[in-house]
Amino acid sequence: MERQQQFWNPYVAGVALGLVLCATFLIMGNGLGASGAANRFAVAALQVFAPHHVAQNNKMATLKADRPSLLDNWLVFEVLGVILGGGVAAYTAGRMRPGVSKGPRISVPLRLVFALSGGVLMGIAARLARGCTSGQALSGGAVLSVGSWVFMFAVFGGGYALAYFVRRQWT
Amino acid sequence: MSFPITSLIAEHRELGLVVAVLLGFGFGFTLERAGFGQARKLAAQFYFTDMTVFKVMFTSIVTAMLGVLLFSGVGLAELKVVGQSVASATYLWPMLAGGLLLGAGFIISGYCPGTGLVAAASGNLDGVVAIAGVLIGSLGFAEIAELWPAFSTFYLSGDKGQWFLYELLGVPAPVLGLAITAMALAMFIGAEKVEQIMARKGEGEDTAEVSPTARGARRLAFGALAGTAVLTLGTLALPSHPKAAVTKTVATVDQQAFAQRLLDEPWSVRILDLRAEKACKERRIPGSECTPRETVGKLGLAYTAGVKDLVLVDEGKRREVPQAVLQYPGKVMMLEGGFPGWKRYALTPPKAPGPDASAAKREAYQFRAALHAAMLGAKPPAPPPGGTKRYVPKPKKKKGGGCG
């Protein structure tokens, strides 16, 4: 087995990430995001099975309105890039392999249940806050939006408050 | 040249989407290399054993912030314009609650939506499952909002509009930038101390830089951030950049072209009715805003992204265009003949052409008849003799909402 490359120094990674973010601001007048595109994928998928239901739901219908296709959107393309970039980075560092990231004290199925339920919470939270850690905390935070900073501290607050109760997952 | 490059959103949209993939690639690549594709490393942040999440996140926020401040300082971009186009409006309470909930979801699932994507892309099954959860959750949100009116009310509570820290604190943005940079550097050193303490207790490992290259990289990053912050502060001393003399030409748009646009793509225009408030309130073009001449300055047009085309509607006398309108970054057009022209064109029934009228005339008639019907809500008249294709206006679409 090829040896894995080490992770980048966090400050170097931070500067690189910041430069990408800044380029996104200046070139596109947009921030980086993840949950917005996820929302679009979800509604687009639902539309295949229950178009009537999508048309009747206020939140989903307004999302549809601006362009004929839900997926014809900046964020969707950006997220495709994220998946591609993450994959290439993992592959070239020798970290591309199927697995589950967890601590030794928890079983794989239970860990997946946790991952799913946490994901559901985040899906709701990201819509409520108009963005997730990428779109709201990172992008909005860097342009000094008040709401984004409130959100960012709340994320850390929520994480630390609950960390003790789910420690068996990780340690 | 000035940033952002608006043509990538408007006429070169396809190119903009290619750029989107490239920028996303950079985002995903750096997230993975920072170690954010592994839930255990991310979760360690919340047990104080590995503060990488905090370090990477704040370094990138500070870097991007300083970049925008520097570009604004030398006049290549406008801080507030960039901010307004990037950030959503501040809704205090839902953002606070959403943050707490997302933090909870983060520690339970081990990922946030962005890092979950990277984890999924590098083969982690828990990342795939977490993203599936996010998809389900966002649909769940739309359902909850539909079924529970109080939740929808809460979603819109604490609306502060677009609100920035430098406005809240009332300090020049570069000064705030320097303060945030200093604070971040101090907190990084604090975070390293915490890691050392935890390592001594036998939990986690000491990530205090051991190799000389790592120590050098850290010093370089810290130095670059501090240096840029000071440089940004220095731009305050530059002579302020007078806004380029306004040389904007205001085009005239004729009634037919405008009506066509109003029916086909109402979202691409913003219509300002410059007439007196009373006249405008009485009858106006659908979708237009009543903004009497003297109040236009309050709209802050200079600070909008300028993606839509601005159409001005006046009394038809072609009075001078208000200065505030000329500062609008996008295209500005004057409706030919103003509102009286619109009244003549769209609100009076057109005369049917004779049976021997040319095809062009018939078509123009059909369009006007359809427009007239659409504006007054009446049934369209029967097509003229020899009519070919009837113009059916597309249903008006609601303007897009929601969050990016």
Any B CB within 8 A of A45 CB: yes
Q: Which of B114, B193, B281, B369 is nearest to A35 (CA)?
A: B114
Any B CB within 8 A of A145 CB: yes
Q: How far is B322 from chain A (nearest CA, A)?
A: 27
pLDDT tens per residue across all 171 residues of chain A: 456 788 999 999 999 999 999 999 999 888 998 998 999 999 999 989 998 998 888 888 888 766 778 888 889 999 999 999 999 999 999 998 899 998 888 999 999 999 999 999 999 999 999 999 999 999 999 999 999 999 999 999 999 999 999 998 988
A136 secondary structure, DSSP code: I
Helix (H, G, I), strand (E, B) or coil at B396: coil
A81 interaction partners in chain B (CB closer than 8 Å)? 20-28
- Residue B213 backbone dihedrals phi, psi, to 5 degrees: -65, -40
- Rounded CA-CA distance B385/B372 in Å is 19
0.90 surpassed by pTM: no
| CA-based nearest residue in chain B for residue A161 | B104
Q: List pLDDT tens digits, range A142-171.
A: 999 999 999 999 999 999 999 999 998 988
pLDDT value, residue B376:
79
A6 interaction partners in chain B (CB closer than 8 Å)? none
Q: Which of A40, A30, A26, A13 is nearest to A126 (CA)?
A: A40
Any A CB within 8 A of B114 CB: yes
Candidates B3, B13, B15, B29, partner chain A, best to mutate (most A CBs within 10 A): B29
- Residue B400 backbone dihedrals phi, psi, to 5 degrees: -65, 145
The CA-based angle B365-B250-B393, given to 5 degrees, is: 30
Candidates A9, A60, A167, partner chain B, best to mutate (most B CBs within 10 A): A9
Residue B1: both structure tokens together: 């040249």
Q: How many A-B residue pairs are in contact by the CB < 8 A criterion?
A: 606
B333 secondary structure, DSSP code: E
A65 interaction partners in chain B (CB closer than 8 Å)? 397-401
Using CB atoms, pick whichever of A20, A39, A134 lies closest to residue B114: A134
- Rounded CA-CA distance B305/B4 in Å is 9
Q: How far is CA A110 from the centre of its chain?
A: 22
Using CB atoms, pick whichever of A79, A103, A114 lies closest to residue B117: A79
pLDDT value, residue B289:
87
Helix (H, G, I), strand (E, B) or coil at B291: coil
pLDDT value, residue B240:
63
pLDDT value, residue A1:
42
ipTM over 0.85: yes
What average pLDDT values come out for chain B (404 residues) when binned by 10 residues? 71 87 96 93 92 95 96 89 90 96 96 95 95 96 92 91 91 94 96 91 65 87 94 84 55 85 86 87 86 81 80 80 80 87 85 81 85 75 59 66 55
Kindly determine whether residue A159 and residue B17, on different chains, have CB atoms separated by under 8 Å. Answer: no
pLDDT value, residue B338:
87
